[in-house]
């Protein structure tokens, strides 16, 4: 049987549930409703890399770089500024903008939008020789492209590019509050190697956080719904 190289997730207790970690070079979706811990997961992943000397790139389309650093410092005490100076972490904000309506052809506009997005990712990966990449989140692409087929093509070109560049990557998706879906657009889950779903489950008068590996290629993964907690050491699976 083939050897599959694994990359530690950085989430305490998760690696043992998925044969040792993410498959090296794979594209993995971390999805969940707002406030379920997607950003914490992604930062744990990059911090794990930094500890092992693997440079990591964080692309955010949602927040300001300063805010993420401050959040992480407040929650876990991790100093991303210091890691950035050591070239072990790089955070980049790619903000969505009002589309330029001078370009009339919507398909051409989308192509330019995606190409620009991919070239920024590629440039930054090469700059720090990143081995790990986070794209937080892909939902902005899903909002920008209304057509299901075009969205499929565009998201595929993103996953292809990440695979080509040989990095192990996390994409975050957002599940609308009232939905049972796996992403806003319902497409990205088909073209990634892994789907990990974070959730908020009401138990009596309280909400509990849970993690479920919905799919993972090349991996005989846990199919349990794992409760987890966010500790000062990072996200941590609660063993039952």
Which residue's structure tokens are 């009232």? 178
Compute CA distances 204 → 72, 199, 201, 208, 213, whole Å: 30, 16, 10, 10, 24
- Closer CB to its own copies, 79 or 127, in the complex: 79
Site for its own copies in 103-142 (CB under 8 A): 105, 107, 111, 139-140
CB of 2 to its own copies, least distance (A): 4
- The residue length of the chain stands at 240
CB of 210 to its own copies, least distance (A): 9
Out of 51, 120, 148, 166, which residue is the one contacting its own copies (CB under 8 A)? Answer: 148
Written as six digits, the tokens of 204 are 């009596």
**Residue 95 in the binding site for its own copies (CB under 8 A):** yes
User: Other C-beta atoms within 10 Å of 117: how many?
Assistant: 23
Angle between helices 106-128 and 148-164 (to 10 degrees): 20
**Residue 207 in the binding site for its own copies (CB under 8 A):** yes
- What gap in Å lies between CA 87 and CA 67, rounded to an integer? 19
- What gap in Å lies between CA 130 and CA 126, rounded to an integer? 7
Out of 67, 85, 119, 127, which residue is the one contacting its own copies (CB under 8 A)? Answer: 67
Instruction: Name the DSSP letter for residue 12.
Output: B
- Closer CB to its own copies, 122 or 186, in the complex: 186
Q: Is 21 helix (H, G, I), strand (E, B) or coil?
A: coil
Out of 156, 165, 199, 238, which residue is the one contacting its own copies (CB under 8 A)? Answer: 156
- Closer CB to its own copies, 129 or 223, in the complex: 223
**Residue 239 in the binding site for its own copies (CB under 8 A):** no
Written as six digits, the tokens of 51 are 């500890």
CB 44 within 8 A of CB 234: yes
- Closer CB to its own copies, 8 or 208, in the complex: 208
Question: Which of 42-50, 116-124, 126-134, 176-184 is the region at the interface with its own copies (rule: CB under 8 A)?
Answer: 176-184
**Residue 84 in the binding site for its own copies (CB under 8 A):** no
**Residue 12 in the binding site for its own copies (CB under 8 A):** no
- What gap in Å lies between CA 99 and CA 97, rounded to an integer? 6
Compute CA distances 118 → 82, 107, 130, whole Å: 27, 16, 15
Give the residues lining the site for its own copies (CB under 8 A).
Answer: 1-2, 4, 34-35, 62, 64, 67, 70-71, 73-75, 77, 95-99, 101, 105, 107, 111, 139-140, 143-144, 148-150, 152-153, 156, 160, 163, 174, 176-182, 186, 189-191, 193, 195, 200, 202, 205-209, 212, 214-220, 223-225, 230, 232, 240
């Amino acid at each position: 049987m083939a050897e599959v190289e694994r990359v530690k997730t950085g989430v305490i207790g998760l690696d043992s549930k998925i044969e040792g970690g993410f498959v090296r070079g794979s594209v993995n979706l971390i999805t969940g409703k707002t406030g379920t811990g997607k950003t914490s997961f992604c930062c744990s992943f990059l911090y794990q890399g930094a500890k092992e000397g693997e440079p990591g790139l964080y692309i955010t389309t949602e927040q300001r770089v300063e805010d993420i650093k401050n959040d992480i410092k407040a929650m876990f005490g991790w100093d991303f500024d210091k890691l950035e100076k050591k070239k072990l972490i790089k955070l980049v904000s790619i903000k969505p903008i009002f589309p330029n309506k001078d370009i009339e052809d919507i398909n051409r506009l989308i192509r330019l939008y995606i190409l620009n997005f991919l070239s920024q990712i590629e440039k930054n990966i090469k700059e720090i020789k990143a081995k790990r990449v986070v794209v937080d989140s892909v939902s902005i692409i899903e909002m920008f492209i209304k057509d299901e087929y075009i969205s499929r093509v565009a998201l595929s070109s993103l996953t292809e590019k990440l695979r080509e560049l040989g990095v192990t990557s996390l994409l975050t998706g957002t599940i609308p509050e009232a939905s049972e879906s796996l992403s806003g657009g319902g497409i990205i889950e088909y073209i990634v190697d892994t789907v990990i779903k974070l959730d908020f489950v009401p138990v009596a008068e309280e909400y509990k956080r849970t993690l479920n590996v919905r799919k993972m290629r090349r991996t005989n993964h846990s199919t349990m719904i794992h409760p987890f907690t966010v500790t000062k050491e990072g996200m941590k699976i609660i063993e039952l």
